[in-house]
Structure 1
């Protein structure tokens, strides 16, 4: 026998051993009828848990090796020895190898960013875009920097529409007194290149209005003045 819960919730409360035994019996019948399915689901869940734990352990073991490799190659990157940084030297792995061989590690992720920057400097814009797009960061300022660099690559490829898209992502990612005016200026230049003078004027005006103390304001006023005649302002 059972009764409705006193709080009116409609839930049933088992009152007697006989009623409880009835519930258990139903569960046993269900298990017997669906034994293969139930055991299969249980095994799949267990396998997924074991696989995930194994993957995490593998990534943890790889992280140290990858970080050591990355620390060695950063010196070449900072010295502007881009080819050495990308391909490695003296038996050390380069950024491209680290990014590819240690996927899933923080070091691989960071290597993709550095590789993207190096490739951009070398004028290898498609490769730069691929590496920068594979980079991710929870730090919004760093994320915005990566989006801006992808915009730079598209700008250099004479694809202003794509550049505009990524510059907008950089601008919208995290407002910052130092970086955002720079991204806005890049956005305005891309809009000019895309023959969108009215949009460019609005973007230059944002620099002037939202970041009056920025060093970019002087150029923003100059370029906006030149464009206003074209758009009839």
Structure 2
């Protein structure tokens, strides 16, 4: 969020599993005078934080309210099932939802996959968080289906995961309030879209543009004529060439006798 014109700053919210490090590094290289503050929020908090001005933009999971927020899709995650390392499902590299039919599938309250119908057998109660569900998996209470980044975030040595090929998948987007598209938001959009410094529509390009236009202006002489190759071409060449041509025309008479 921009505190003032003299001391700008940028706040970026992000949800668990999303790694903004590469974009933050590019920001620091391009805008070293504008501090970027990271704010981790839960998926349920993200919309309110952006709407209330707690952050300028956010790396969040779909869905987002497109009547309020603008959003740029970034990527869609692979979905995996987290199981103990000695579980039967580890015998295959990939599994399907049908393979989970006889499993107790945990469904935490902060689930981000938006199931229409949860596979497997329901647990006795829903864990409050994904972290709580991971603990239950480690205790052999059930299995957990999550985006791959969350399985990595909650990695444990006694657990592993396998890809679920036909499960819902989670999309990650850059979102911000549509009515608050500031210059700094435009700068960050350019970074996540992979624009170079020269192709960016940010403030850096706008500051250098007048200089580029000045270089392209043709130079003018004191008499107001434009200099350049085309102008020289209209003069008929240098004067020395014209004098040489005149001498050649005068040489059409008889040669003078030598004394």
Instruction: Please give the TM-score of this superposition, normalised by the length of structure 2.
Output: 0.22
Higher Rg of the two aligned structures: 2
Structure that is richer in helix per residue: 1
Larger RCO: 1 or 2 (CA < 8 Å, sep 6+)? 2
Instruction: Please give the TM-score of this superposition, normalised by the length of structure 1.
Output: 0.24
Structure that is richer in strand per residue: 2
